Structure 1
Amino acid sequence: MTTDVPRGPSGAPSGGLSRGPDKGLRGRHQAVLPDWLALYYADPLELTHGEGRHVWDADGNKYLDFFGGILTTMTAHALPEVTKAVSEQAGRINHSSTLYLNRPMVDLAERIAALSGIPDARVFFTTSGTEANDTALLLATAYRRSNQILAMRNSYHGRSFSSVGITGNKGWSPTSLSPLQTLYVHGGVRTRGPYAHLDDAEFIAACVADLEDLLGHVRAPAALIAEPVQGVGGFTSPPDGLYAAFREVLQERGILWIADEVQTGWGRTGDHFWGWQAHAQNGPPDILTFAKGIGNGMSIGGVVARAEIMNCLDSNSISTFGGTQVTMAAGLANLTYLLEHDLQGNARRVGGPLIERLRAVAAQLPGVREVRGRGLMVGVELVQPGTDLADPDAAAAVLEAAREEGLLIGKGGGHSTSVLRIAPPLSLTAAEAEGGAAMLERALRRGLRKGG
């Protein structure tokens, strides 16, 4: 008896190992993965291993990692405590789904609930920040019986159908179709837009007045979702207190506040454990979403909400992969390390001088519009010299130059990808910060000449 095997144009089995001549990993990537799956660098990197704040590529080149897998390697690469926890848990059981009691999931949920600041908190684990924000939207719209969502201009909340529909950054929103009606609010970007010329108090007052005016024209929305620091948008943020002022307006109308802490959470900003705490005058958010850094590379996301909101759903649900034992073991070990080694304090102590060092460099370079951020979450915005026009070509050139120097950084920005994003592991040392700043200074001087 013979079995028909699907074959490609060459006659080789299409699902087997015979693929003809090796086109290299990049060629293989392009042959089987979507065109819209972005890659950094003209000659993309394959990272093979890491240790501490450094990674190595397939050619043996060593890099200081100032991006941490998009703010995900939060403590350190190959952190022994996390590696051990994962290995030991994998030796017992990897997975059971949420249909069974799961001690590591309960342990981590208890710790996150206590840290969240939300009273009577309940925690639901997902596999990503996108899925966490999806869940938050489901909870808010079900609780409020409304499909209207307030979101910030220049925002990013994920790549699913619903989270794309509330993303206020057209570079990361490939469709205008959405199950939600989204209304975009001013305030996420301090130094651009119609209120940029105002001082902080006036800026907040103007944004609040705009919000109140908007709410006067629509039925009450379900929630406002906002990143305390906009990540993909280029590490922009409003003055401290804006979301507290928004919260006062929202609470009068019963509208929920969702804090998207996927990038800002876990102490990265140095001053606070959560980004929302810079806007805490009117209490914690109703719903908080998290992901990225808690797993240190393992797939963990989640939602925290007070019980009244979390329990509002009137049908059954489970998560097959959210809260799996191995990822929960990683999260517990990672969170323990973070707290015991005061990495929030380290982000403040090391990040402050790093920002000042980069501002001193920027003062000498007309192509740098602004160095902004707090803790180890730093954005360097590039523009065409003498203007406020974004310069994505210069950003691309600096990214390449930084790689040649041995430094990995990221890119972002609202109007175009013209902001360099710096977000190293929170265990970064002062010496590594200085070394990275020196590499970035050389890359800026080289790349801005090429970009210009």
Structure 2
Amino acid sequence: MTDLYERHRAVIPDWVALYYKQPIEITHGEGRHVWDADGNRYLDFFGGILTTMTAHALPEVTKAVSEQAGRLIHSSTLYLNRPMVELAERIAALSGIPDARVFFTTSGTEANDTALLLATGHRRSNQILAMRNSYHGRSFSAVSITGNHAWSPTSLSPLQTLYVHGGVRSRGPFAHLSDAQFIEACVADLEDLLGHTHDVAALIAEPVQGVGGFTSPPDGLYAAFREVLDRHGILWISDEVQTGWGRTGEHFWGWQAHGRSGPPDILTFAKGIGNGMSVGGVVARAEIMNCLDANSISTFGGSPVTMAAGVANLSYLLEHDLQGNARRVGGMLIERLRGIAASVPAVREVRGRGLMIGIELVRPGTDEADPQAAATVLEAAREGGLLIGKGGGHNTSVLRIAPPLSLTVAEAEEGALVLERTLRRL
């Protein structure tokens, strides 16, 4: 492993982060477990950053990929593509967006790029509203709307971005308010912001902020925002790269927690739909999707192999009610972790919904983020056979827990026991 690590450092950029003081090479997986090159077995509570959505080496997906690869691997969007049309039909129907059109990309970053292109083209404006503490990808345009300093390496931007409050419920100037008062204050902040600008193209928001530490506003905030946006003709882009496909348990899409507003104008997705294959995409009403007045194709978006994987994966997800499993097992896991956290002074908050759970760590007796504690728990959990992630807008002090949606009750308890041991060491 030392040899591979040295080779990695010699050819891969320094800013490509690796977990662990002694990085591991994952060689294979099955179900909710993976193995490293030394033969160590781990329970996977991060799923390749929320991407292995159903299970590792899911036979239905593996079979679909193998069979399609044996027929045709690539053609581009210049030719009719049956798996792409089939997956687009299913996603359009599931999106809730009327007269929906679907465009496939290779990543969530590219999906958000496309959404920004559509919104700015449709509205003839390059002004974008984004949420504080947000993250939308690593491209030039996506970085320029990212409200998380740790993930924004440049202030240069093709867009004029204005940041709105509301994505983080338990920190900031409105944290002490009730949910209703919090929403009222955030709406007032939005109204005031719009009073100082004009011709805004869109608001882009994650229903639950992923990299930001699995934070979210009270249910209904984006519905209240939508009423303001509609008065100004501003589009709403819901970034469902991490929240889509039933991961939050209660809803298939994160926007549905704010459902009285109806579906967003534009929805972006990626990660879980491919179960590890590179699939992203955008859903929008036809009038928005068709607003581009220049040629555009995708060489790799919608490839036959990744689309076959997406169709098989989505079928498995729906047929086995993995959204319901995320609600049941995730709800149990959240309560179990809250019970543990009650006696651990370093835990400020356990939050989340479904199988999208964050544990925020602070220095005991204070509200000060403790990234070193998060790093310590990450290492100790791996030693105990559990892989988790970390994030947060406050110096990466949040443990991120997002297992495959097929997680069993026994596996949830197994992971909780490892976390209990590691957290109590703090």
Report if TM-score (shorter chain) is over 0.5.
yes
1:23: how far off? Answer: 6.2
Separation in 2, partners of 1:241, 1:290: 21
Q: For each residue in 1:395-451, what CA deviation from the matched residue of structure 2 results, as whole angstroms up to 9, or x when unmatched?
A: 0000000000000000000021000000000000000001100011111122x2xxx
1:174 to 142, 150, 153: 153
2:417 pairs with 1:427: no
Which residue of structure 2 aligns with residue 18 of structure 1?
none
2:105 to 107, 115, 126: 126
1:66: how far off? Answer: 0.1
2:318 pairs with 1:339: yes
2:157 pairs with 1:147: no
Alignment of 1:150-165 (within 5 A): 150-165=129-144
- Corresponding residue SS for 2:102: strand
Alignment of 1:289-368 (within 5 A): 289-368=268-347
Unmatched segments (≥5 aa) in structure 1: 1-21
Separation in 2, partners of 1:172, 1:223: 21
2:13 pairs with 1:34: yes
- Corresponding residue SS for 1:222: strand
Which residue of structure 1 aligns with residue 79 of structure 2?
100
Which residue of structure 2 aligns with residue 233 of structure 1?
212
What amino acid does structure 2 have at the position aligned with 1:271?
E
- Corresponding residue SS for 1:174: coil
Which residue of structure 2 aligns with residue 403 of structure 1?
382
What amino acid does structure 1 have at the position aligned with 2:198?
R
Which residue of structure 2 aligns with residue 44 of structure 1?
23
Which residue of structure 1 aligns with residue 62 of structure 2?
83
Separation in 2, partners of 1:254, 1:55: 48
- Corresponding residue SS for 1:158: coil
Which residue of structure 1 aligns with residue 353 of structure 2?
374
Separation in 2, partners of 1:405, 1:238: 33
Which residue of structure 1 aligns with residue 365 of structure 2?
386
Identical counterparts, % of pairs: 85
Alignment of 1:192-231 (within 5 A): 192-231=171-210
More displaced stretch, 93-102 vs 23-32? 23-32
Separation in 2, partners of 1:146, 1:244: 23
2:19 pairs with 1:24: no
Separation in 2, partners of 1:438, 1:271: 25
Separation in 2, partners of 1:416, 1:96: 44
Q: Detail structure 1 runs of 4+ shifted over 3 Å in the superposition.
A: none
- Corresponding residue SS for 1:91: helix
Which residue of structure 1 aligns with residue 243 of structure 2?
264
Give TM-score scaled by structure 1 length.
Answer: 0.94
Separation in 1, partners of 2:422, 2:222: 36
Count of aligned residue pairs for this structure pair: 426
Which residue of structure 1 aligns with residue 221 of structure 2?
242
2:253 pairs with 1:274: yes
Please tell me whether Structure 1 or Structure 2 has the larger radius of gyration of its CA atoms: 1
Q: For each residue in 1:270-292, what CA deviation from the matched residue of structure 2 results, as whole angstroms up to 9, or x when unmatched?
A: 00000000001121000000000
- Corresponding residue SS for 2:29: strand
Q: For each residue in 1:33-86, what CA deviation from the matched residue of structure 2 results, as whole angstroms up to 9, or x when unmatched?
A: 100000000000100000000000000000000000000000000000000000
1:220: how far off? Answer: 2.5
What amino acid does structure 2 have at the position aligned with 1:357?
R
Q: CA RMSD in A?
A: 0.7
Give TM-score scaled by structure 2 length.
Answer: 1.00
What amino acid does structure 2 have at the position aligned with 1:116?
S
What amino acid does structure 1 have at the position aligned with 2:353?
R
Alignment of 1:33-72 (within 5 A): 33-72=12-51
